[in-house]
Amino acid sequence: MALRINDTAPDFTAETTEGKIRFHEWIGDGYAVLFSHPKDFTPVCTTELGVMAGMADEFAKRNCKIIGISMDPVEDHQKWKADIQSVSGNAVGYPMIGDPDMSVAKLYDMLPAEASGDPANRTPADNQTVRSVFVIGPDKKVKLVLTYPMTTGRNFDEILRAIDSIQLTANHQVSTPANWKHGEDVIIVPAVSDEDAEKRFGSFERVLPYLRRTRQPN
């Protein structure tokens, strides 16, 4: 069964490039992004992990930790770091989970439909984790799930944008329209009355009977 929004993110213990972790304990009282990649020492994955290394400070500003995972052993992750830094100019400072027995990949349904057999003998076309992203909140609930094909590198700016939206909703009872960017107007959720909206936001624009727009709260 695939994980759904508001499911509790499965807890697990795993070896990482930063030592053994207990996932929920590692998350602590903030947010976390768990993202999988198919295989170490492959081209698209190298670019992705380099980008994430370069964006680590942006995630930290949002009280959000990042952690990578694939079915490669931790020793391979450690060796691969040099290639990632040489391509991107960014040193990987976040942990990477080694999952050679597929236990975490199965827990989070990260395997493609055709995956089977011994992970040690997998090929570029089979038995790899797909490009999954899970955003997990301080309550350990799943807030966002994205899955990309193995051949498509992700846009991690979109992950940051989604986290900004998720946190605005949690803190201010607003939602965000299509193509919204940080700093742009937001939408007041229907559960907030007009009277309460005026107290919270000062003013708002009624675009439609069910659509009220206001400035992004600080």
CATH number attached to the domain at 173-214 = 3.30.1020.10
139: left (phi over 0), alpha (psi -120 to 50) or beta: alpha
Q: What is the per-residue pLDDT across 184-196, written as a single tens digit (0 to 9) for each?
A: 999 999 999 999 9
Tokens of 113: 């439909």
Shortest CA distance to 16 belongs to which of 82, 93, 86, 88? 93
Domains 13-152 and 173-214 share a fold: no
In the chain, where the domains are located: 13-152, 173-214
Rounded distance between C-alpha atoms, residue 78 and residue 26, angstroms: 20
For the chain, the average pLDDT equals 92
In whole angstroms, give the CA distance from residue 156 to residue 93: 17
Q: How large a percentage of the chain has pLDDT more than 70? A: 92
CA dist., res. 218 & res. 210, Å (int): 24
Which among 33, 34, 45, 168 is annotated as catalytic?
45
Structure letter (DSSP) for residue 119: G
Q: How many residues does the chain have?
A: 218
β-pairing verdict for 31-36 and 131-136: antiparallel
Q: Does domain 13-152 have CATH number 3.30.360.10?
A: no
Q: Is residue 116's pLDDT more than 60? A: no
pTM, 2 dp: 0.91
Is 45 tagged catalytic? yes
Nearest residue to 186 via CA among 162, 204, 163: 204
Q: What is the pLDDT of residues 119-133, one digit of tens each?
A: 555 555 555 677 899
User: H or E segment at 91?
Assistant: none
Cα separation, 124 vs 177, in Å, equals 38
| pLDDT higher than 80, residue 115 | no
